[in-house]
Amino acid sequence: CNLTGLWENDLGSKMQVVKVDNEGNFSGMYHTAVSSTRNPIKPSPLVGSQHLDEDGQCTFGFTVNWNFSDSTAVFVGQCFTGDDGKEVLHTSWLLREKVSSEQDDWKATR
């Protein structure tokens, strides 16, 4: 699985990976379809890396620096190839929002 290209999830968010280099590093843009902020959603830059496994079912991770809010998200996942030959990504994520004080740290990560 090479992550280069356009990926879309079930909620309509889109990830565009421009190029994966020979060491598995990549960059691109993420356009989320969902947000808790009132600011207009904008495509945001992402950087990441993937394992270049021979079986094609690589693990990967990337960070998105949301440029329309004071938050950052990290995603980890794996690429699977189904019986139909279609590649599918399964991911988990953490989002860290900026809070105004250390006492509010408990509510900053989802």
Is a pLDDT exceeding 90 seen at residue 8?
A: yes
The string of pLDDT tens digits covering residues 11-68 is 999 999 999 999 999 999 999 998 887 888 999 999 999 998 787 789 999 999 999 9
Q: How does DSSP assign 29-92, residue by residue?
A: EEE-S--SSSSPP--EEEEEEE---TTS--EEEEEEE-TTSSEEEEEEEEEEE-TTS-EEEEEE
Q: What is the C-alpha separation between 2 and 83, in angstroms, rounded?
A: 18
Q: Extract the tokens encoding 59.
A: 């693990």
- From the number of C-beta atoms within 10 Å of its C-beta (0-12, 13-18, 19+), residue 26 rates as buried
Ordered by start, the domain boundaries in the chain are: 5-98
Which homologous superfamily does the CATH classification assign to the domain defined by 5-98? Avidin-like (2.40.128.30)
User: How many angstroms separate the CA atoms of 29 and 64, rounded?
Assistant: 8
CA angle 70, 67, 25 (to 5 degrees): 110
Residue 102 has pLDDT above 80, yes or no: yes
pLDDT for position 73: 96
Mean pLDDT of 72-93: 92
